[in-house]
């Protein structure tokens, strides 16, 4: 399996790794088939993501995709962060091998799940903003 230099860099030196105490939103998603789990912590101020950290118990591609995804949403308003697709994550990493595409889906879903948690804590129904979450995407490991 060939990984791009960017994937290798984010795998070897993941950005924003760890957790945030008193986070405003925490999301956790897992893939039932590969067993990988991703946890995302957000600090939100005035509708803007001021800090983000993640923990991934999973494969190298899961670590690289969550690392770059945190960089892509840090400092962004929530509505922009919600528009981050797994496709954009893959492009930012200069591509992923087909068997690893689902790892980028996990990163997108982890962010959405953390934002949904933030809305829920505010007493707001997250569904109109976040849509339907596939927190256990057990089909995506079949590639």
Query: Which SS3 state, helix, strand or coil, does residue 17 take?
Result: strand
Query: Which SS3 state, helix, strand or coil, does residue 142 take?
Result: helix
Q: Could you tell me how many residues of this chain bind ligand FES (CB under 6 A)?
A: 12
Q: What is the closest distance, in whole angstroms, from the C-beta atom of residue 77 to ligand FES in the complex?
A: 28
Task: Dump the DSSP string for 24-57.
Answer: SEEEEEE-TTT--EEEEEEEEETTEEEEEEEEEE
The interface mask with ligand FES, positions 15-34, x = CB under 6 A, is ----------------x--x
The DSSP call for residue 121 is H
Q: Which of 44, 78, 90, 106 binds ligand FES (CB under 6 A)?
A: 106
Q: Give catalytic status of residue 141 as yes or no.
A: no
The interface mask with ligand FES, positions 32-71, x = CB under 6 A, is --x-x---------------------xx-xx---------
Which part of the chain contacts ligand FES (CB under 6 A), choosing from 12-20, 69-77, 100-108, 123-131?
100-108
Report yes or no: 36 and 103 within 8 Å, Cβ to Cβ: yes
Q: Give catalytic status of residue 34 as yes or no.
A: yes
- Counts for the chain of helices (H) and strands (E), in that order: 6, 3
Please say which residue, 34 or 88, places its beta carbon nearer to ligand FES: 34
Cβ contacts of residue 80 below 8 Å, gap of 6+? 73
Please say which residue, 122 or 139, places its beta carbon nearer to ligand FES: 139
Report yes or no: 58 and 37 within 8 Å, Cβ to Cβ: yes
- Contacts with ligand FES, residue ranges (CB under 6 A): 31, 34, 36, 58-59, 61-62, 100, 102-103, 106, 141
Q: Show which residues are catalytic.
A: 34, 103
């Amino acid at each position: 399996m060939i990984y791009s230099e960017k994937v290798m860099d984010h795998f070897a030196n993941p950005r924003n790794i760890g957790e945030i105490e008193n986070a405003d939103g925490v999301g956790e998603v897992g893939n039932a088939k590969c067993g990988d789990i991703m946890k995302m912590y957000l600090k939100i101020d005035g509708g803007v993501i001021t800090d983000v950290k993640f923990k991934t118990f999973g494969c190298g591609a899961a670590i690289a995709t969550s690392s770059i995804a945190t960089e892509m949403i840090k400092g962004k308003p929530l509505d922009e962060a919600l528009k981050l697709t797994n496709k954009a994550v893959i492009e930012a990493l200069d591509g992923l091998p087909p068997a690893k595409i689902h790892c980028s889906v996990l990163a997108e879903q982890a962010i959405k799940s953390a934002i949904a948690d933030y809305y829920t804590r505010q007493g707001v129904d997250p569904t109109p903003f976040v849509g339907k979450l596939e927190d256990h995407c057990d089909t995506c490991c079949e590639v």
